Chains A and B, each alone.
Chain A
Amino acid sequence: MKYVKLPKENLDAFVENLKTHGKVYGPVKIGEYYSFQEINNSKEMSLEYSRTMIPPKKFFLKLKERLFTFNEEKGEYKETLEEEKIVVFGIHPCDINALKLMDKIYIDETPDKYYKMRRENAVIVGYGCHPDEYCFCHSLGTNYAADGFDLFLHELKDGFFVRVGSDKGNAIVSEISELIKDVEGSDIEEFRAAERKREKEYTLELNIRGITDMLALAYESEVWKEYADKCFGCGSCNLVCPTCRCYDVVDNVNLNLKSGERLRRLDSCMLRKHGLVAGGLNFRPTRIERLRNRFNCKGSLREDTLNCVGCGRCTVYCPSQIDYVEVLKKVRGEL
């Protein structure tokens, strides 16, 4: 890996340069929450943010989008996907690791053109973070992004320790050679000390060893009923999750009744229709089965990684305050 240093006073000039690589999005505070929004300069960002409600996955697998249009008279399906270059600035390690997981599904297996094209057209700039009481990425080993970014910034007292993670990142760094410096011994020491300190900041831990077995063994457990009684089946937990990938599809017709579009939107397995088939048979009829499915899906392996990165969003945004880590601790019999 190549390492460089970006002095603090050059952050804005850096963002200016990034604009030449596409629309720049960064974490912005809106009311009481954070959201990735288009930014003009670094001051609009809140880089000390805890987490955005909606993860940066939204740039690739959109919350809702048009897949294509159709026209019955002409007999055509028409792709309407357009290429757009973007830069996503300030992504935390958990979310970068979540994108790597999404890549496995949306790029490595039968590629989804929408997702893949957007991934290829994006520059990912990671940003080091500090955990709050909901973060348990540490337990999942996702609190550090070893790869999956183009550039990754770690804050130092007078600048940023920058890891260059790809050719794309390297090309950007060479464009801004006048803005950056070589890292010095003292920078490296500061970075190492910060990482040591950060490791100690985690307060929430979840033992994930053997979690797949623990979940299978808890299949008939009372724990699902207990939490299903509290659950609204509102889907928020899935819709804010950076590793959930379920989507639903609908067709809409235009006023002429001949043309229209097919839309897709994120879906959630906590919603009734997720397991419903024609004729009224529902394979996950109650919130008990749905909750159990959600936890088993999150707690299953995809090529040795769990489908959860410990970002804490599902706990924070559950209107019923169902605590993800608490549920899994019960599943393990720890509570």
Chain B
Amino acid sequence: MMENVLLPKLAKIVKSEKMTAIERFLQVEVLDKKFAEVFDYQPGQFIEVSIMGVGEAPISTCSIRTKKGVIDLCVRNVGRVTNAIHHLNIGSLIGIRGPYGNGFPMEEMEGSNLLLVAGGLGVAPLRSVLQYALKNRAKYKDITVFYGIRTYDTMLFRDEFYNLLAEGDKLGCKFYLSYEDSKDKQCISLEAEHSERCMCGVVTKLFERIKLSPEDTYAIICGPPIMYRFVVQELTKKQVPPEKIYMTLERRMKCGIGKCGHCIIGDGTSIKYVCKDGPVFTYWDALHTKGMI
């Protein structure tokens, strides 16, 4: 029997926690034992989540695999499918397909410094990169994380990141936080407590705080589309070569496997499908593929 890649596999919700007004953390476990054995994924990859009767949406893994058949997701409620996901209970059944996409080249980056730049929900896929790098700590040099939020209320994975803010250096990574709302009380007190690592402004402001060695640093970016241009500008100023700047892109997706065409970008000389050629691309790719960022 030929495999039907479009047919979702059943999985059940094992955890569902409210993180912010619009984001939820979900842990999902696939039902089929055989599938659980082989179900593995890399940082930067995504799965297609199906809700019966509503539809499908691509969601990134926000962790590395710690248990067979289990995947962590962080979902923002923005539309039909994501809203339905938010209303699921523990034990509810969903369908999943994947993992899809290329993911970050974690091996290629071994032996270098890592600079992770996340804006808003972009921190979800980068969390899996961070987990991977911390688990394989010896393989990387310095690990630095920039996380930009608008307000305290929109901060994801708060406990984890507080911990990194306070104890990150001991755990092996330098964690920086930026916030945009200068009147946000909680953020102000965070800044007072960790003035070295927390400041008011957009995420690119954090570049003031570090010294970057462009020869052996890989930058990894994920955030809202407008963020890319500014972060790339900063990195280019600091001489980080385009092929060492990685970013993960978002486009409309209906299949995840290079068929439905929605995620198409580029021009005659370079057509790319974000789902199968990406979602991780380098800035070099962006320079050679029109309409990428």
Contact = CB atoms under 8 A, between A and B. Distances in A.
Question: Do A and B contact each other directly (Cβ–Cβ < 8 Å)?
Answer: yes
A83 B260 CA distance: 23
A253 B268 CA distance: 40
Contacts of A293: 264
Interface residues of A, number: 57
Given A72-B53, A219-B290, A274-B252, A279 B259 contact: no
Nearest to B57: A278
A75 B10 contact: yes
Interface stretch (B1-9, B110-118, B155-163, B199-207): B1-9
A244 B291 CA distance: 21
B7 A279 contact: no
B267 A251 contact: no
Contact of B268 (A106, A213, A251, A278): A213
A256 B7 CA distance: 22
B65 interface: no
A251 B55 contact: yes
A283 B291 contact: yes
Nearest to B54: A251
Contacts of A274: 252, 261-262
A273 B270 CA distance: 23
**Among B10, B52, B290: residue with most chain A CB under 10 A:** B52
Contact of B266 (A81, A111, A211, A300): A300
A299 interface: yes
B260 A247 contact: yes
Contact of A219 (B3, B267, B276): B267
A247 B254 CA distance: 8
Interface of B: 2-10, 50, 52-56, 78-79, 82, 93, 95, 225, 250-252, 254-255, 257-262, 264-271, 276, 290-291
26 contacts: A67-B7, A77-B10, A81-B4, A105-B258, A110-B258, A111-B2, A112-B5, A112-B6, A113-B2, A113-B4, A213-B268, A246-B262, A248-B254, A249-B55, A250-B55, A251-B52, A251-B54, A269-B261, A277-B251, A277-B252, A278-B82, A279-B79, A283-B252, A283-B291, A293-B264, A300-B266
